[in-house]
């Protein structure tokens, strides 16, 4: 089975990518492949950040590398937290603090419509760039529901599933998630 280096150290993201693509590729984290640098996400779009990460790993290791940049876009917050989803509270990767800040920002707001957006970039060793995008729609719950998933999953009530990603099984979430849709969009181009 062909190895696919994923430009991420986010365990939740790596697990989902392995669940979605694991029948086609052996998923290897960038750290397992020998890349230990922290790629700064200076892009203003999900695509730009995914391209930065995929390119850094691909160029450093001379291999094909896949990166995903994704986040939550809330209508009432003019699309925030968006590309700042992982660091919304000020501390990168503090999921609980990010969820708490989101609930505080939406307190008393009736418009709780939101979407998850994912941009995936496969940067091949020869410099070729392939991309995929995906979105999934829902609303933000008043309180957390469930403990499955990661990030904002326990607050995101999926329109497709009628329940939060925090309650959904991995199979249910992966059948409708933004990341799965982006990865399948990419696979069509391979």
Catalytic residue positions?
A: 69
- Residues 189 and 128: their CA atoms lie apart, in Å, by 12
Q: DSSP state, 89?
A: T
Q: Are 183 and 120 in contact (CB under 8 A)?
A: yes
Sheet holding 25-29, edge to edge: 25-29, 2-6, 65-74, 113-123, 129-140, 156-158
Decide: 72 and 103 in contact? Cβ < 8 Å: no
Strand partners, 36: none
Contact 17, 66 (CB under 8 A): yes
Give the chain's end-to-end CA distance (angstroms, integer).
16
Please state the separation of Cα 16 from the chain's center in Å. Answer: 9
Helix axes 178-187, 11-21, angle to 10 degrees: 50
């Amino acid at each position: 089975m062909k190895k696919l280096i994923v430009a991420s150290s986010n365990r939740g993201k790596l697990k989902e990518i392995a669940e979605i693509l694991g029948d086609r590729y052996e998923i290897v984290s960038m750290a397992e492949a020998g890349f230990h640098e922290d790629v700064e996400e200076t892009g203003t779009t999900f695509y730009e950040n995914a391209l930065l990460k995929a390119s850094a790993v691909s160029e450093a290791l001379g291999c094909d590398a896949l990166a995903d940049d994704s986040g939550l876009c809330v209508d009432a917050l003019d699309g925030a937290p968006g590309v700042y989803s992982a660091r919304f509270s000020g501390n990168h990767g503090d999921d609980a603090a990010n969820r708490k800040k989101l609930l505080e920002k939406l307190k008393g707001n009736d418009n709780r419509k939101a979407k998850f957006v994912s941009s995936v970039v496969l940067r091949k060793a020869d410099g070729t760039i392939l991309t995929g995008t995906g979105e999934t729609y829902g609303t933000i719950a008043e309180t957390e529901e469930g403990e499955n998933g990661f990030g904002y999953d326990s607050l995101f009530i999926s329109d497709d599933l009628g329940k939060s990603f925090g309650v959904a099984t991995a199979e249910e979430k992966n059948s409708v998630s933004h990341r799965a849709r982006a990865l399948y969009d990419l696979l069509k181009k391979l």
